[in-house]
Structure 1
Amino acid sequence: MQILKDVANRYHMMKGSKVHFVPGWDCHGLPIEVKVLAELGGKAQGLSAVEIREKARTFAKAAIEKQKSAFIRWGVMADWDNCYYTFDRKYEAAQLRIFYQMYDKGLIYRSYKPVFWSPSSRTALAEAELEYNPEHVSRSIYVKFPLLKPSPKLASLTDGSSPVSILVWTTQPWTIPANQAVCYMPDSDYAVVKCSKSGDLYILAADKVAPVASALGTTFNVISTFSGVDLENGTCAHPLIPDKASPLLPANHVTMTKGTGLVHTAPAHGMEDYSVAAQHGLSTDCLVDEDGVFTDAAGPKLQHKAVLEEGTDVVIKMLQAAKNLLKEEKLVHSYPYDWRTKKPVVIRASKQWFINIADVKTTAKGLLKKVKFIPGSALNSMLDMMDRRPYWCISRQRVWGVPIPVFHHKTKDDVLINSQTIEHIIKLVGEHGSGVWWTLPPEQLLPEAVLAQAGGPGALEYAPGQDILDIWFDSGTSWAHVLPGSEQVADLYLEGKDQLGGWFQSSLLTSAAVRKQAPFKAVVVHGFTLGEKGEKMSKSLGNVIDPDVVINGGKDQTKEPPYGADVLRWWVAESNVFTEVAIGPSALNAARDDISKLRNTLRFLLGNVAGFNPETDSVPVGDMYVIDQYMLHLLQDLANKINDAYKQYDFGKVVRLLRAFYTRELSNFYFSVIKDRLYCENADEPKRRSCQTVLAEILDVIVRSFAPILPHLAEEVFQHIPYVKEPKSVFRTGWIRTSSIWKKPGLEEAIESACAMRDSFLGSIPGKNAAEYEVIIVIEPGLLFEIIEMLQAEETSSTSQLNELMMASQTTLLSQEPRTLPADVIELKGTFLINLEGEVGSGDIREESSYKVIVMPTTKEKCPRCWKYTAQSSDTLCPRCAEVVGK
C-alpha cells in the first residue's frame, strides 16, 4: 500500500503537480494496549490508566520508528520529519472539535443498546473491528415454548385438551434466559402439527414442516394451517423461568431461510430484537457482564459462568430438565470474532455513545456519486456496507486513546458537555495532549464558570467519563489535520478493501457530517496479499512474508535471497492490485527476471548512444530509415498507453506494456535488426545516427515510464547517460515527452508486410544463421510492391533497409518470378491485406496482394569484419566494410 501510494505520488510529481503527501500513523487502540499488557503479564494488574498509556505510547513510538525506516528503505518518498500521528496533541484537539461539532448537531448521542461486545477485550466493537470466522461451531437447539394463551383463532384450531408448543430454533442457547418474546411473520402461513413419535402438538411455519421434522428425526402430520396474523395477542410460557410469559409479536426480520419461522427474541442480545422491544415496551435488561459472564441476576445456576462456554452448557441442561429441549446439534457457520484477539464476540446491551449515521448516510451517499472509485465495483461494496450499518458505536472501554470529553453526574443519569467545557478541554489537550484527562484533577478539566455551577471545587457533582473514542473515529478525522484549509479535499485515498467499512467510511461520514463534502475525489481499493498457493496470510499461521526479508534476504540466503527494493516494488506494481495477489519465491523470481531483462535492455541502449550527441547528431524524422520512424511511431503509442494506465492507477498495465515492449519490440526485434548498422557502419554515418537518435528517444521514454515504479534503477540510468554532463534526478526533469510527428500509421503497412515476409523466411530456417542465405521476394505489381519498394529501390542489395530487416546476406525484389532457380531453394507463399484509411473524401484502400519468398543458401563468403556472407573470399572485406575501413 505504501509502495502504491509512492508510485502514484512520483507519477503526479513527474507530471508537474505539487504533491502534498503527509505519511501518518494511527497510534491508539486496543492492539497496542493488549500487546503492552500481555508483555507485562502479571505486573499489568496493578497499573493505573496513566501508566498503561505511558507504556502504550513508548511501544507505539518504537513501532513507528521501525516502520518508518522500512518505508524509507522501500524507496517511499516523503518528508519523514513531518508526519502526522494520531497521538499528537494538535491532532487530538482537532478530533475533539469534530466530536463536538457532530454532538452539537445532534448526530452523537448516548444510549443503552445492543452492541458487538468482545469479552476477550472487555470493550464494545464497531462493525469494522469484526472479522467473520466461517469455521465457528455453535451448539444450535430446537426449543419448545408451551402455548399459554392462544389467540381466539388459534383456540378454535386446537381442541384445547392437548397442550401445544411454539417451536423455536436458535444458534445462541445462552440468550434463552434473556428471552422476552417470540416473533412471527404476519403474512406467512403457519401450521399446527402433530409429532408422530411423541403425539405432541407444535406450531411452526408451514414451509418449515418437512425440514424441521427431518432435523428432529420424526414426521409431522399437519392438523391445520393459518396465517401469521392469527397468532396476534397469543402468549407462551418462558421455557426456563416459571410464571414468566413471552408474548407472540409480529416482526419483519423473521425469515424462512433457517429455523422454524418463529424467532426467539432477546432484546439485550440482538439489534432486531432490540427494535421489537422498543416498539412493544419489552424489558432490555442484560444478564451478561463485560467479561461475557452471566451476572447474579441470571440466577444461582448461571451466575459467574462464561456465556460462550460453561454458560451455554448449563442453559442446555436446564432446558432438558424443564423438558423443553427437543434437539441439540453442532452448527458450523460464519460468526463474528474480535479481529485483534481472534476470539468470538457476543451481542450485549450496554450504555454507549453512538453516531446516528441514518441522518448522515443520505448526505454521504449523494457525495459518493461524485467520487471516482477504482475499481468501479468498490463503490457498490461501500454503499452496501453503509446500508447494513444501523448505527456507529464510537465508545470503547479502554484507556489508550482519546477520551470522550463528557462528565457524568455522580448520582443521576445525566452528562455535562457544552461549548464552554469543550473549548476548555480542547485548549488543554492542544497544549499538553489527551493524557490530561487522567492526570489533572477533575476540577481543572472544567472552566471556572462551569465548575461553579457544577458544585464547585471540592464538591464537584460530576466525574470525567471513562470511555475513549473508537480508533476509526481517530483515523476517520485525519482529513481535518492533514488537509490544509477547511474546504480542502484529497485527490486520492488509497487503501485495502477492508477499509470500505473502515477508514474510507469513517472519513466520509465525519466529513459529510461536519462540512457536507467528501474528503476525497478518488478512492483506489486494493486486495489482500495471499501466499503463493492462494492461502490467506496470517501471523498465527506463520506464513507472513516480511518485505524487509524480501529486500535484504533472510537468515538462510539460499532459501530467502535478497531481492532488493526494486523487485519488491515491481512485484507490487505488476500485481493486479484490485484483486487478491499472491507472493512467494516464484512471483519474486519472475519479478527479478523481468528487471534483469530490463537492465540488459538499458545496458544496450546506454552502450549504443555512446559517442552520440542529440543536439548535434540527431537525424530529422523524415530523413530516418523507415524502421526507425516506425519505432518512434510505436514509442508514441506506448507512451500514450502508459500515461493512460498511470492515470487510472493501473500500475499492473504499465508493467505489462513495458515488459511487452522491451522484450518483443526491442530485444527480439529492433535491436537484432539494427546491430549491423550500429556496429559496422561509420560512426557518424547518417544511417547509424538515424537509429541512435531513436535509441536515445527510446531510452528517455522507457526510463521515465518505469521511474515511478523503479526509482532506484531510473536514477542509476540517469547517472550513466553518456551525453548528459551534469545528471539531474529523473524526478526533477518532467514526464515522458513525445512528438506528434512520430505518429505515422502509414508506416505500419510497410514494416508489418515486410515483417510477414521476414517471418516466413526465418521460420523456414529454424536455428540457422539468416546471413548465410539469400532471399528473393516476388510481389505482383500493385500497392504492396510499391510499399516494399520504399525499403529497397534497387533490385538486389546487401545494404538496403529491406535487407537489414530480413537479416539475409542479400535481398532481391522482383515483380515476377525468375525463369530459372537453383534446385535447393525453399519457396514460401503468402498474402498481405493492405488496409489504409484515406484522407477525408478520398476513401479507404483495402487491397490483398500475394507474395512469394524464395530462400537459397548464399554463394558468398563470411566477411571477417561484419560476419555477413557478403565477401568474395573469407580473407577479404565485403564491399561495405572495405568502404567504411577505407574512410
Structure 2
Amino acid sequence: DRSALNPSGSGENALLRDVSLPAARRRAACRSSGGSVSSTPAAESRQDSQYRDTVLLPRSNFPAQLPGRLQPETEVETQQKCGFSELYSWQRQRKAKQEFCLHDGPPYANGDPHVGHALNKILKDITNRFYVMRGCKVHYVPGWDCHGLPIELKALSEVKGAENLSPMEIRQRAREFAERAIEKQKSAFIRWGVMADWANCYRTFDPKYEANQLRVFYKMYDKGYIYQDYKPVFWSPSSKTALAEAELEYNEQHVSRSVYMKFPVLKSPPKLTSVIDGSAPASVLVWTTQPWTVPSNQAVCYMPDSEYAIVKCTTTGEHFILAADRVESTAAVLDTQFEVMSTCKGVDLADGSCAHPTIPGRISPLLPANHVTMTKGTGLVHTAPAHGMEDYSVASHHQLPTDCLVDEGGFFTEAAGPELKNKNVLEEGNEAVIQMLQAAGSLLKEEKFVHSYPYDWRTKKPMIIRASKQWFVNTASVKATAQEVLKKVKVIPTSAANRMLEMLDRRTFWCISRQRCWGVPIPVFYQKNTGECLINSETVTDVIKIVEQQGTDAWWTLPIEQLLSKEAVAKAGGHDVLDYVKGQDVLDIWFDSGTSWACVLEGAEQKADTYLEGKDQLGGWFQSSLLTSVAARKKAPYKTLVVHGFTLGEKGEKMSKSIGNVVDPDVVINGGEDHTKDPPYGADVLRWWVAESNVFTEVLIGPVVLNAARDDINKLRNTLRFMLGNMAGFNPETDAIPPSEMYIVDQYMLHLLQDYGSKVTEAYKEYDYSKVVRLLQAFCSRNLSNFYFSIIKDRLYCEEEKDPKRRSCQTVLAEALDVVVRSFAPILPHLAEEVFQHLPYKKGKGVFRTGWINVSSAWKKPGIEEAIEGACAMRDSFLGSISGKNALEYEVIIVIEPGLLFELMEALQAEETSSVSQLNEIMMASQTTLLSELPKETPADAIIKGTFLINLEGGYIREDSSYKVIALPVTKAKCPRCRRYTSDSSSTLCPRCLKVMAGKGST
C-alpha cells in the first residue's frame, strides 16, 4: 500500500512498525560511498552562486585541529574552566546508591614521573571517570610508597661523607627526597587529568599510616604468623640488608667460577663396604657454582631413589661415587674416562661420611635429600646450611650446625680462619677458597659457568644467601587460605590468576626485616644479656600511641624509658627497663605498602572493588596485600585484580638512555626543545595511547605511535565538528522530532546508537579500553562519516531550516554527538569538555557531572535493519557499477519481484519515481525508480543482479530475495542550488528547491 508512507517522509510503514525481533543476518549497514562519489555539491563554496547564502552549511567555532602549543594550552584552560580539580570532591558529596573503590597501589617516591606511571594512572583514571559518570560515588585516594633503600641511597648520593650520618640525619634526608619526588609526580598526574583526592593523599611515612601498619603487624604476630628465626635469606652485600624474593632481579648471563671437587670417603656406607675395599682411595664427586660456601660445608646430599655408580678413573686409579646418569658427562668435563665398577641406589649411601675438602678433622656425613637433581653436576650436592634454603632444611632435620662465616658486607669473618678473614666472598674470598681446594688436592676442575643468578634490584649487584636472625611471615601457614580466597577474586586477564597462584605456591616464608633505618621499626625490644625479644600487647600499644602522635622518628629520638613502660617489663617477667635495647630492624617496604588496605580503605569491610597495577605486582603488592589481609582477617582486600603489562619502545625494546628511546611524558605533552623533533601532543594523546593499547601485554610507545594517536584524535575531531556545525539553530528541547516520526534511516541510526552504547558500556565494565576505542572508531568512521553523513548532507544543507525532515536528522546528530562524546569522555576528558563548551545549546554542568550514555531501549528496532541494509546492498551494486563517477549524474532503477523485500523498499519510497524519497537519499542518485517488473527493452549489459537475505523474527520469516539495479545517465539538468540533476533547465531550480525558496519546504 503506497499510501502507508506519509509523503513528507515522516511516517513509518506498518510492516516496519510490526517487526520487533532482531534479524539473524547482519549486513554491513555502513557502506562507504568511496572516493569516487562526490559530496553534495551545494556544500562547495561557489562565489558566483546567487543561492550560496540560502544553503545551510555547517557553522561552528570548534577547531578541526589544535596545532603546536594550542593543544596543551587548551587542555590547561579546559581543566580550569570545567573544574577538573573540584570533580572528585563534587562526586564524593553527591548522593549515590553505589560506591566504587579503586585502591591506588602506591608508586615509589624515588624519581621523576615516567611513561610507566602514565600507563598506570591513566588506566585508573579512565576507570574512575567511567564510574563517576555511571552515578557511583568513587573512592580513590592516591598514595606513595616512601620508605626503603632506593630512596635512602638516592638521598645519600647527594651528600658528601654520608657514611658518617646518624640514623636521624639519614631519615631526615630520605624524607625530604621522598617529599620532593611526590610533589613532582603529583603535579604530573594532575596535568594528565587524573581525578583524585589530591588534598588527602596517603604516604607510607604518615604517622597514622605507620600506626595502622604496626597494628596489623601485631595482629599477625599475635596469631602466630610472624616469628623471629635464624635461617638463610637472600642477602645483598652491596646494600647490607636482607631482601625478599620480590626484590630480586635475575641476571641470565651471570658468570660463576664452578668447581668439581672430591670429598674423601672416611666411613664407607655399610652396604658398599665390599665394593669400596680400601685397595684404592675413594671419594664422592661434588660440583658447585659457589666455591666460597665450601668452608661452611656440613654434609653431602644424595637423592635416595636415584641410581649411583662407583667408578674407577682410568687416569689415576682413584674410585669416585657419583650419579649413574652423570658418569659420561662428568668424565668428559674432567677429560678422563670412568670405568663403572658397580651401581647402587641412593639409599645405599646411608650412614657413610666424608672428610671436609679444606678443613682437616671435619666430617661431612652423606645424607638423603629430595632437592638433589640429576640435570647438571654430579648428582651429589655440597651442603652449606648457612648459605642455602634446602641446605638449611637438611641441617634442621639432622641437627647440623648452621654457623655463618660471612658478615653483612659479604666478607669472611674471623671464624673462617686467617686465610679467609676480611676477604669478599664474591671476589678474592672465592679465589682464596679455590686455592685452598687446590692446595689440599681436592680440586679436580675449575670452569666458568653462565647461569641465571639473583641480583639486588636496587644496586644491580649479585646477592648471596646468608643465614642471619630475621623476622618472617610464615606464608606456609597462610598461603592455602590465600589461594582459596584468591580463586574467588575476578582477575583480568584470567591468565594472571594462575601465575599468582603459582607464585604463592612457591613461597615458603617472607623475610620482612631489613637492616636499615629509613622505614617503620619492628616494635621489639631485646634483653641485653640474653638477646631474648620482648613484644606483647602492652609494649606495642604504647609504641603505637607514640607513633600516631610523633611518627616513627620517635623510635630513634626518644629514650627507651619513654617507649617501654615499667608495667610492660614487669608483666614480661623483667626487672628494669634499662635491661633492654630497642630493635634496629625496619619492616620490608612490601609490608609497608601491603598493609595499605588497613590504612586507606573505608568501612567495616575495608575491601576495594579493584586493584589495578602492572604484572610485577603479582609477586609484589597484590601478594603482600593478600597475605597480610588473609593473615589478619581471613579475606582478600580486593574483589577484582586488573593486571597490565610494561611499557617498551615502539620496536618492543626496553627503554634506556643509551639507546635514546626513553619517552618522557612531560615532553609528550608540552614538546621538547625542538618542536620539529618532539612536538607538543597534549595529555589526551597520552591518554589515547593508553586506551588504544592492548594493556594486558607489553605496551609500545614512540614517535610513530604518538603521531598515529594524534591523527586518530584529529579524525575524531572532524567527525565531532561536522555534528557540531549542523547543530546551529537547533535546540533538542524544542526542535527534536520523536523517533516514530523520523525518516527510517534516522530511526536506523538511533538503533545503531543504542547498540553502540550498550557495547561500549560492557567494554568499560571489563576494563577493555582498547575495545572501547575500536568501537568508537568503527562507529564514527563507518556508521557516521562514511554512511550517515554522506547521505544526509542534502537534507541538512538544502531543506528549509525548520523542515521536519531536516529536524529529524538533526535530532539524530544531537543524540549521536551526546552518545559519542560521553562514550570517550573517560579516555579523552579534555576533548569531551571542549566539545560541550562548543554546543550551541546548554548541556548542564559538563560531561562528567551529567551522567553516562543515555540511550532508549525504544530505539532498538531490528526490523529497520532489513529495510536499510537491503537498500544499502542495492546502493553498493549501483555505486560499484559507476565506479569513479559522480552518483548524482545517474538515475537508478530498482526492480524487485513482489514480496517482502519490495514491501520494505516501498516503505522507503511510496512513489514509483522520486528524487526526494528516503530510498533515493540512500542511493545518493539524482532520481530513483522502484518497479516490480523490468522495463521492456532494457539492455542486458546495463542490469546488475543481486540477492538480499531477509531474516526476521529469529528465522521465522526467511526470504532470499533477488533484485536488479539499472544505472542510467540523468536526463534532467543540474539544479543551481542543490546541484542535483533534477531541474528542467540549468537556469531554474528543481521543484524541491523552489518550494524551499518560496518558504513552502515544510509543508
Shared fold per TM-score greater than 0.5: yes
2:996 corresponds, among 856, 879, 884, to: 884
Alignment-mate amino acid for residue 228 of structure 2: R
The residue number in structure 2 matching 1:36 is 155
Q: Which segment is superposed worse, 732-741 or 486-495?
A: 486-495
**1:587 CA displacement:** 1.2
Indicate whether 1:409 and 2:535 are aligned. no
**1:660 CA displacement:** 1.1
Change (3 A) 1:660 1:48: same
The residue number in structure 2 matching 1:234 is 352
Matches within 5 A, 1:11-160: 11-40=130-159, 42-160=160-278
**1:456 CA displacement:** 9.9
TM-score normalized with structure 1 length: 0.96
1:847 corresponds, among 948, 951, 959, to: 959
Alpha-carbon distance between aligned partners in 2 of 1:581 and 1:428, rounded to the nearest angstrom:
46
Alpha-carbon distance between aligned partners in 1 of 2:566 and 2:296, rounded to the nearest angstrom:
46
Alpha-carbon distance between aligned partners in 2 of 1:770 and 1:131, rounded to the nearest angstrom:
65
Contact 2:392–2:402 (8 Å) recurs in 1: yes
Indicate whether 1:774 and 2:919 are aligned. no
Matches within 5 A, 1:262-277: 262-277=380-395
The residue number in structure 2 matching 1:222 is 340
Alpha-carbon distance between aligned partners in 1 of 2:872 and 2:337, rounded to the nearest angstrom:
78
Alignment-mate amino acid for residue 515 of structure 1: R
The residue number in structure 2 matching 1:4 is 123
The residue number in structure 2 matching 1:161 is 279
Alpha-carbon distance between aligned partners in 1 of 2:723 and 2:664, rounded to the nearest angstrom:
35
- Between the two structures, name the one with larger relative contact order (CA 8 Å, sep ≥ 6): 2
Alpha-carbon distance between aligned partners in 1 of 2:750 and 2:450, rounded to the nearest angstrom:
62
Alpha-carbon distance between aligned partners in 1 of 2:442 and 2:879, rounded to the nearest angstrom:
86
Contact 1:862–1:869 (8 Å) recurs in 2: yes
The DSSP-based 3-state class of the residue aligned with 1:484 is: coil
Contact 2:146–2:204 (8 Å) recurs in 1: yes
The residue number in structure 2 matching 1:805 is 922
The residue number in structure 1 matching 2:904 is 787
Contact 2:598–2:606 (8 Å) recurs in 1: no
1:857 corresponds, among 952, 969, 974, to: 969
Deviations 1:32-76 (A, max 9, x none): 101111221x42021100001011111111111111110100000
Deviations 1:545-579 (A, max 9, x none): 22111111122222111110111111111111111
Alignment-mate amino acid for residue 947 of structure 2: T
The DSSP-based 3-state class of the residue aligned with 1:111 is: strand
Indicate whether 1:758 and 2:872 are aligned. no
Alignment-mate amino acid for residue 808 of structure 2: S
Deviations 1:504-526 (A, max 9, x none): 11111111111222111111111
2:816 corresponds, among 682, 689, 698, to: 698
Contact 2:897–2:933 (8 Å) recurs in 1: yes
Matches within 5 A, 1:232-311: 232-311=350-429
1:836 corresponds, among 941, 945, 952, to: 952
Alpha-carbon distance between aligned partners in 2 of 1:777 and 1:168, rounded to the nearest angstrom:
90
Alpha-carbon distance between aligned partners in 2 of 1:547 and 1:99, rounded to the nearest angstrom:
38
Change (3 A) 1:677 1:186: same
Change (3 A) 1:781 1:218: farther
Alignment-mate amino acid for residue 269 of structure 1: H
**1:703 CA displacement:** 1.0
Change (3 A) 1:451 1:227: closer
Tell me how large the CA RMSD over aligned residues is.
1.9
Alpha-carbon distance between aligned partners in 1 of 2:460 and 2:873, rounded to the nearest angstrom:
62
The residue number in structure 1 matching 2:800 is 682
Alpha-carbon distance between aligned partners in 1 of 2:370 and 2:180, rounded to the nearest angstrom:
52
The DSSP-based 3-state class of the residue aligned with 2:274 is: helix
**1:473 CA displacement:** 0.7
Contact 1:718–1:727 (8 Å) recurs in 2: no
The residue number in structure 2 matching 1:421 is 539
**1:167 CA displacement:** 1.8
Alignment-mate amino acid for residue 481 of structure 1: C
**1:17 CA displacement:** 0.8
Change (3 A) 1:882 1:198: farther
Alpha-carbon distance between aligned partners in 2 of 1:869 and 1:256, rounded to the nearest angstrom:
88
The DSSP-based 3-state class of the residue aligned with 1:187 is: coil
TM-score normalized with structure 2 length: 0.85
**1:217 CA displacement:** 3.7
1:870 corresponds, among 973, 976, 982, to: 982
The residue number in structure 2 matching 1:597 is 715
1:737 corresponds, among 838, 841, 854, to: 854
Deviations 1:812-854 (A, max 9, x none): 222222222469x64322222222235xxxx612222222222
Alignment-mate amino acid for residue 358 of structure 1: A
1:207 corresponds, among 309, 320, 325, to: 325
Alpha-carbon distance between aligned partners in 2 of 1:689 and 1:798, rounded to the nearest angstrom:
19
Alpha-carbon distance between aligned partners in 2 of 1:608 and 1:504, rounded to the nearest angstrom:
50
Q: Which segment is superposed worse, 7-16 or 304-313?
A: 304-313
Alpha-carbon distance between aligned partners in 1 of 2:846 and 2:832, rounded to the nearest angstrom:
9
Contact 1:84–1:482 (8 Å) recurs in 2: yes
Alpha-carbon distance between aligned partners in 1 of 2:292 and 2:658, rounded to the nearest angstrom:
29
Q: Which segment is superposed worse, 793-802 or 583-592?
A: 793-802
The residue number in structure 1 matching 2:746 is 628
Change (3 A) 1:326 1:759: farther
Deviations 1:352-372 (A, max 9, x none): 011111222122222212211
The residue number in structure 2 matching 1:475 is 593
Indicate whether 1:748 and 2:865 are aligned. yes
Contact 1:269–1:349 (8 Å) recurs in 2: yes
Q: Which segment is superposed worse, 87-96 or 539-548?
A: 539-548
Alignment-mate amino acid for residue 810 of structure 1: Q
Q: Which segment is superposed worse, 183-192 or 140-149?
A: 140-149
Change (3 A) 1:329 1:617: same
Alignment-mate amino acid for residue 835 of structure 2: V
**1:125 CA displacement:** 0.3
Alpha-carbon distance between aligned partners in 2 of 1:218 and 1:486, rounded to the nearest angstrom:
71
The residue number in structure 2 matching 1:587 is 705
Contact 2:565–2:577 (8 Å) recurs in 1: no
Contact 2:569–2:576 (8 Å) recurs in 1: no
Aligned residues: 880
Contact 1:353–1:393 (8 Å) recurs in 2: yes
Contact 1:32–1:60 (8 Å) recurs in 2: yes
Contact 2:305–2:346 (8 Å) recurs in 1: yes
Change (3 A) 1:538 1:381: farther
Alpha-carbon distance between aligned partners in 2 of 1:741 and 1:217, rounded to the nearest angstrom:
85
Alignment-mate amino acid for residue 129 of structure 2: R
Contact 1:784–1:849 (8 Å) recurs in 2: yes
Alpha-carbon distance between aligned partners in 2 of 1:452 and 1:108, rounded to the nearest angstrom:
24
Contact 1:706–1:714 (8 Å) recurs in 2: yes
Change (3 A) 1:260 1:266: same
Q: Which segment is superposed worse, 428-437 or 782-791?
A: 782-791
Deviations 1:231-274 (A, max 9, x none): 10111222222222211111111122222221111111111111
Alpha-carbon distance between aligned partners in 2 of 1:123 and 1:425, rounded to the nearest angstrom:
24
Change (3 A) 1:202 1:826: farther
Alpha-carbon distance between aligned partners in 2 of 1:324 and 1:766, rounded to the nearest angstrom:
88
Change (3 A) 1:318 1:69: same
Change (3 A) 1:74 1:667: same
Alpha-carbon distance between aligned partners in 2 of 1:32 and 1:46, rounded to the nearest angstrom:
18
2:690 corresponds, among 572, 581, 588, to: 572
